[in-house]
Amino acid sequence: MTGDHQSSRQIKALIFDDSQGPGLLFTHAALLSTSGCGWMSLPMTVSPQNRAQFEIMGAAGLRADMITGNYIKNRDTLDQAHEWLKEQDSIKERRESVRFWSMILLTAAAAIAACIAAWPVVKG
């Protein structure tokens, strides 16, 4: 797919998001999926300077600062902080999901191994 063809499929959309407070508008880049089965939301980019600052503050510190408003005075920085927190939450959810399913798999393997190990005792 060429760059011109891909950029022609990219659409800017204003999405009303009431979860972060009444009347806030967030700009999201939306891309029509190539399979034609709907919209995919592309993440808003966080500037490297803000990303470094957010990583130093950590998720809990950034959330506390967003409540008090000490560090974040700029609307763009606030939007990037929301986006960075969403990224961190999705990373945390993915990690927990992998941990959960790996424990399910290991538990099933242990149960099968226990059945195999107990088979001679049950037979005899």
54 and 84 fall within a common domain: yes
- Token pair 């022609």 in the structure block, residue: 8
50 and 90 fall within a common domain: yes
- Tens of pLDDT, residue by residue over 40-81, are 455 568 999 999 999 999 999 999 988 888 878 888 889 999
Q: What is the pTM of this model?
A: 0.55
**Of 11, 2, 17, whose CA–CA distance to 42 is shortest?**
11
- Tens of pLDDT, residue by residue over 14-28, are 343 445 444 433 333
Instruction: Answer yes or no: is 73 within a domain.
Output: yes
- Tens of pLDDT, residue by residue over 27-42, are 333 333 344 444 445 5
49 and 72 fall within a common domain: yes
- Tens of pLDDT, residue by residue over 76-86, are 889 999 999 99
36 and 58 fall within a common domain: no
Domain assignment of residue 84, given as a range: 44-95
List residues bridging with 11 in a β-sheet. 30
Q: What is the CA radius of gyration of the chain?
A: 23
* Token pair in block for residue 115: 């059945």
Count of alpha carbons within 13 angstroms of residue 96, beta-carbon side: 6
Instruction: Answer yes or no: is 31 within a domain.
Output: yes
pLDDT band (50, 70, 90) for residue 1: very low
How many folded domains does the chain comprise?
2
65 and 85 fall within a common domain: yes
* Token pair in block for residue 110: 């242990």
